[in-house]
């Protein structure tokens, strides 16, 4: 399988090169030249498979030119063996035909573990094969950083530099990153917001001269295709658990960078019956404003109780725009260049095509807290603020009550005690046993100004072969 850029000017690459490249040389994101498609009969035959085996069925077409089947199976077995629940992604029922899929049973208590535990193993495999070293540079709004560090910290051929917005992630999120010790692990707190961190990562991938030609950058953010690929699987898992593919499903996805919900869109294109995808956002609602009114316009980023979604530039939205424009890279490039100067819209028929499957909602902090409290009072089930936004959006946007609605539960509530407290509940969410001493562990991180040259200089000085 070959991969092409959403901007249309970079060369097509194989899986190994896409894994290590991240951002395409033309500034675009890589997507498969064509998607595998599964028949209903084939999907039906996967009922009852263990999660790792289902992951193999869904993902192997994307990597088969690069990784032998037995090696990939072993990676998947190792990846999902570290999750704390035998089902890996268990479903919890909230109401009639309403469910939460718990995607926080991995080692860092967030959905990012599904992709980043695998990404670390993929990197180790390919870099060992090539005898190559890379520098991982990533930006996090809270959860990607800890999942990337946990997934990649044992990799022999990488140095890891994770940027997070200073004082704009929860304390648990910060400590999950900054208490992991290792000569190859570097946490950078940038005096800015997540969009600033993400912009620095993109600029650095576009010009890697600060590394002196001695190594290259590799991406852990969802600009890396492997991240998206791994997230497709749990849509199939949820459907098969609730009667799919013989009945269609609806999903509500808390999203900031559009990666997780784009994986659902791909699952639909690959043959899984999905009749609705709900984009659930907080006050940073650029995706909701586009999907509800065909207007893509950046506003000032706001700090909320759901910090992992405090994002205004949704990188993976470019992948959807590429599809909506008939895979015309030049049109996407022009649109996104115009978007840096002011509001943009797409042709009405393209927007209406997106609306056939996508709905959206923006949920403020008060409604988030109300939802946390209501669900706990109804079910004694505690939601984190991001999942609460997903549940509220699902209820506000639901098209058909006969279709199962599944909200992706993106993080453990113990990561966001402030939101639980703001909701008026007296319950204190507890960290699981393997993190019980998190607040006693020593932290290590560096605070830098919101300046790309300063960040690049730090990386150039501190990767181990510098």
- Spatial distance between the Cα atoms of 60 and 368, rounded to a whole number of angstroms: 38
Active site residue 112: yes
Q: Are 463 and 135 in contact, with CB atoms under 8 Å apart?
A: yes
**Mean per-residue pLDDT, 43-72:** 98
Helices and strands of the chain, counted as H and E runs:
19, 13
- Spatial distance between the Cα atoms of 301 and 311, rounded to a whole number of angstroms: 7
What's residue 23's pLDDT? 87
For 394-447, the pLDDT digits (tens) are 999 999 999 999 999 999 999 999 999 999 999 989 999 999 999 999 999 999
Split at pLDDT 50, 70, 90, the class of 222 is confident
Split at pLDDT 50, 70, 90, the class of 169 is very high
- Spatial distance between the Cα atoms of 409 and 277, rounded to a whole number of angstroms: 15
Percent of the chain with pLDDT over 90: 92
**Antiparallel, parallel or unpaired: β 98-102 and 91-95:** antiparallel
What's residue 466's pLDDT? 54
Q: Which domains does the chain have, with CATH numbers?
A: 89-107+227-422 (3.40.50.1100)
- Spatial distance between the Cα atoms of 373 and 382, rounded to a whole number of angstroms: 8
pLDDT of residue 313 exceeding 90: no
Split at pLDDT 50, 70, 90, the class of 180 is very high
Tokens 């909506």 label which residue?
A: 324
Catalytic residue among 57, 112, 129, 269: 112
- Spatial distance between the Cα atoms of 281 and 389, rounded to a whole number of angstroms: 7
Q: At 330, list the tokens.
A: 């030049």
What's residue 154's pLDDT? 85
Q: What is the pTM of this model?
A: 0.94
């Amino acid at each position: 399988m070959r991969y092409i850029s959403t901007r249309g000017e970079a060369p097509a690459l194989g899986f190994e090169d896409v894994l290590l490249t991240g951002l395409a040389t033309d500034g675009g994101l890589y997507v498969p030249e064509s998607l595998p498609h599964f028949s209903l009969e084939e999907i039906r035959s996967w009922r009852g498979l263990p999660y790792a085996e289902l992951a193999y069925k869904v993902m192997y077409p994307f990597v088969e030119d690069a990784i032998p089947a037995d090696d990939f199976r072993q990676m998947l077995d190792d990846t999902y063996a570290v999750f704390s629940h035998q089902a890996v992604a268990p479903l919890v029922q909230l109401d009639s035909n309403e469910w939460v899929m718990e995607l926080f049973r991995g080692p860092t208590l967030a959905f990012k573990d599904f992709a980043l535990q695998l990404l670390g193993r993929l990197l180790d495999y390919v870099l060992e094969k090539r005898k190559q070293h890379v520098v991982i540079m990533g930006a996090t709004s809270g959860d990607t950083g800890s999942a990337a560090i946990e997934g990649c910290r044992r990799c022999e051929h990488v140095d890891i530099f994770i940027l997070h917005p200073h004082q704009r992630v929860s304390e648990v999120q910060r400590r999950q990153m900054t208490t992991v010790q290792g000569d190859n692990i570097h946490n950078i707190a940038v005096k800015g917001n997540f969009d600033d961190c993400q912009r620095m990562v993109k600029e650095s991938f576009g010009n890697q001269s600060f590394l002196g030609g001695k190594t290259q950058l590799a991406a852990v953010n969802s600009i890396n295709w492997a991240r998206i690929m791994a997230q497709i699987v749990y849509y199939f898992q949820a459907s098969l658990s609730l009667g799919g593919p013989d009945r269609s499903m609806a999903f509500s996805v808390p999203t900031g960078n559009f990666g997780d919900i784009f994986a659902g869109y791909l699952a639909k294109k690959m043959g899984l019956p999905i009749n609705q995808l709900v984009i659930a956002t907080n006050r940073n609602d650029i995706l909701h404003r586009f999907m509800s009114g065909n207007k893509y316009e950046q506003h000032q980023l706001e700090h909320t109780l759901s910090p992992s979604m405090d994002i205004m530039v949704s990188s993976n939205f470019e992948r959807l725009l590429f599809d909506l424009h008939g895979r015309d890279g030049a049109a996407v490039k022009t649109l996104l260049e115009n978007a840096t100067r002011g509001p943009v819209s797409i042709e009405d028929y393209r927007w209406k095509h997106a609306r056939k499957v996508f709905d959206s909602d923006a949920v403020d902090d008060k409604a988030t807290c109300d939802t946390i409290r209501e669900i706990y009072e109804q079910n004694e089930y505690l939601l984190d603020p991001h999942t609460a936004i997903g549940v509220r959006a699902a209820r506000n946007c639901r098209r058909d009550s006969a279709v199962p609605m599944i909200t992706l539960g993106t993080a453990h509530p113990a990561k966001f005690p402030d939101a639980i407290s703001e909701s008026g509940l007296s319950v204190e969410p507890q960290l699981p046993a393997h993190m019980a001493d998190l607040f006693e562990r020593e932290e290590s991180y560096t605070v830098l100004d919101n300046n790309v040259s300063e960040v690049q200089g730090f990386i150039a000085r501190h990767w181990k072969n510098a």
